[in-house]
């Protein structure tokens, strides 16, 4: 299995009516040097200024970003090239990140290489430490900046720390 730590920035709360602005993915392995970053042109005329502001981009900038179909084709090819076994989607907020990635894969390519499931890093940590009020974010080394590659890398660092600290049986390649 290959573990893909994913982070998405969007200009609204749901896919379809709003758009994924950019996404960053880091393959979880000791080096954390295999990454994907895409900036995506809006697919909707709707957008929420406060949501878009989180990404650090203006609406005018996003209108110049890459074609969504091309980004998703590139991402699909990268996932296939980088995967050993089944690709596993992991995210800090998979309820948000997953919905956008899944929607875009199905809308533009007709299928999602991750299948129909994802893993939530926060829930994994709560289960490992057996405490529903605990948070993993202190385990990040990379500052959380809302640039999706920084945030995915920080979350991948946290997962590596959790795996080492709690002797999780995950195979990282």
Residue 43 sits in a domain whose CATH number is 3.30.420.10
pTM: 0.96
- 3-class DSSP assignment, residue 36: strand
What's the CA gap between 125 and 80, in Å, rounded?
A: 28
Could you list the active site residues? Answer: 146
Tens digit of pLDDT for each residue in 23-55?
A: 999 999 999 999 999 999 999 999 999 999 999
Q: Is residue 173 part of a domain?
A: no
Q: Is residue 171 part of a domain?
A: no
The first and second tokens of residue 18, run together, are 């709003």
Q: Is residue 33 part of a domain?
A: yes
Q: Is residue 170 part of a domain?
A: no
Burial of residue 126 (number of CB atoms within 10 Å: 0-12, 13-18, 19+): middle
Q: Which residues of the chain register pLDDT less than 50?
A: none
- 3-class DSSP assignment, residue 90: strand
Range of the domain at 57: 2-165
Count of domains forming the chain: 1
Output the pLDDT for position 1. Answer: 86
């Amino acid at each position: 299995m290959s573990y893909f730590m994913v982070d998405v920035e969007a200009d609204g709360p749901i896919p379809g009516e709003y758009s994924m602005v950019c996404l960053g993915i880091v393959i979880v392995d000791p080096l954390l040097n295999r990454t994907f970053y895409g900036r995506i042109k809006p697919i909707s005329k709707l957008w929420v200024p406060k949501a878009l502001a989180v990404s650090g981009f203006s609406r005018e900038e996003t209108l110049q970003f890459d074609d969504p179909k091309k980004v998703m084709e590139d991402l699909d090819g990268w996932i296939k090239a980088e995967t050993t076994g089944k690709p596993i989607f992991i995210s800090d907020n998979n309820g948000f990140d997953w919905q956008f990635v899944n929607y875009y894969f199905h809308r533009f390519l007709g299928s999602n290489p991750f299948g129909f499931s994802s893993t939530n890093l926060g829930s994994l940590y709560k289960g490992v430490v057996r405490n529903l009020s605990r948070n993993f974010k202190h385990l990040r080394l990379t500052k959380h900046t809302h640039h999706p590659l920084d945030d995915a890398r920080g979350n991948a660092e946290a997962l590596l720390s959790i795996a080492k600290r709690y002797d999780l049986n995950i195979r990282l390649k």
